[in-house]
Amino acid sequence: MAVWALGINHTTAPVDLRGRFAFALDQIAPTLNSLRSDIGNRLGRQPEAAILSTCNRTEIYCAGTKHEIDSTVEWLAQSGQVQSGVLREHSYMLQDAGVARHAFRVASGLDSMVLGEAQILGQLKDAVRVADEAGALGTTLNQLFQRSFAVAKEVRTSTEIGAHSISMSAAAVRLAGNLFEDLSQVKVLFVGAGEMIELAATHFAARSPKAIAIANRTLERGEKLASRFGGEVMRLADLPARLHEFDVIVSSTASQLPIIGLGAVERALKARKHRPMFMVDLAVPRDIEPEVKALEDVYLYTVDDLAHVVQTGHANRQAAVAQAEAIIDAGVQSFVHWMDQRHVVPLIKQLNNQADEWRALELARARKQLAKGEDIDAVLEALSRGLTQKMLHGAMAELRAADPESRQRASAAIEHFFLRKER
């Protein structure tokens, strides 16, 4: 069997392109049927298939008699109504061991925006369940995914991968958690709608805050981001009047001048009756006037502040990732070994069937001899001799072959399989 995968994710494709290939969970089954039928027309046999689709990735996993990556690319490009060349430019294509390594890293949270996040494992399990219910899974992909779940479990129980975040956004969440005892009770405002805000929103949304809002110059772009996290969108012009509503403010725009001034924050604190505000300025140049940091009830962090927090845990993160990668390496080797063994399964079955046939023949002959009253020891002797002769007949015939090259190959094989003293 051949295994291949095609995917796009947050590191290879912009969100608008990813959106063209996003499949809701209830769309997966009919989509799998379409994919398998399309490739089956080329192969003559439908492949095994599964589709993982989240806000950050769409991945197709397949197994068949030969690799059909080109056909898979063409099918996905057509389903998203883009040129196949555009899709190739923003996708990754994997085979065999590469597929296993990627699936194991995805399941373990090593390929996520937030290192070690657990949500992706549940999404992968949902994708496998839907594929199984649609009759699209077979032995090969089932093994791949069950092993990915086992590897993910080992990574999460044997390492601290989930405890060490890798971005400034994650550091911001950690610092906010130090100020507010329960982040599920806070309201978060994101100012801007670029990549930094998207990443920050992903981190904060994972903690299920009470409310999320996006303030952006362009409402359309803000609405797209807000819809991902179940939040509301507002205009930047409304920011001063509504600043007091939010406990956490994260800002990252391309403005050349601060958009949140000292006066606006002072008025917000007064309206909040000096309940604390946690503010993060991810912009360069600054979005928030530096004087705000001097206010007693404001906790303002800049890019430099967060970079220091991130670096503090660098050694621990590297150790956790190294441990996780070692576990994944072992899992990949095990899967490749299983795949290699699959190639000889038909031969093993034939060998077992032949041995069973010989055994049945000799047992039948022995039973007849015993029924005639022949001596038990003599019958056992004949039984063992008959089995031995049948097992060695082929090897003996090869040793007596007229072709010297055939005799040499037979001699080497017989020495290897029958005459080794050390096992």
User: Catalytic residue positions?
Assistant: 55
Rounded Cα distance between 216 and 222, Å, is 6
Sheet holding 211-216, edge to edge: 232-235, 211-216, 187-191, 248-251, 277-281, 298-302
SS3 at position 46: coil
SS3 at position 421: coil
Give me the amino acid identity at 122: G
With CA atoms as reference, report the closest residue to 156 among 111, 123, 109: 109
Q: Are 288 and 260 in contact (CB under 8 A)?
A: yes
The one-character DSSP state at 51 is: E
User: How open is the CA angle 359-381-417, to the nearest 5 degrees?
Assistant: 55
Rounded Cα distance between 189 and 214, Å, is 6
Rounded Cα distance between 278 and 263, Å, is 16
Intra-chain end-to-end CA distance of the chain, in Å = 30
Pairing between β-strand 232-235 and β-strand 248-251 as defined by DSSP bridges: unpaired
With CA atoms as reference, report the closest residue to 365 among 346, 348, 386, 351: 386
Rounded Cα distance between 106 and 110, Å, is 6
Distance of CA 353 to the CA centre of its chain: 40
Rounded Cα distance between 167 and 382, Å, is 75
| DSSP H stretches of helix in 279-403 | 303-312, 314-343, 345-371, 376-399
Rounded Cα distance between 3 and 98, Å, is 9
Element (H, E) at 163: none
Rounded Cα distance between 225 and 197, Å, is 9
Rounded Cα distance between 408 and 337, Å, is 30
Give me the amino acid identity at 173: V
Q: Are 309 and 173 in contact (CB under 8 A)?
A: no
| Per-residue tokens: 422 | 């050390």
| DSSP H stretches of helix in 344-375 | 345-371
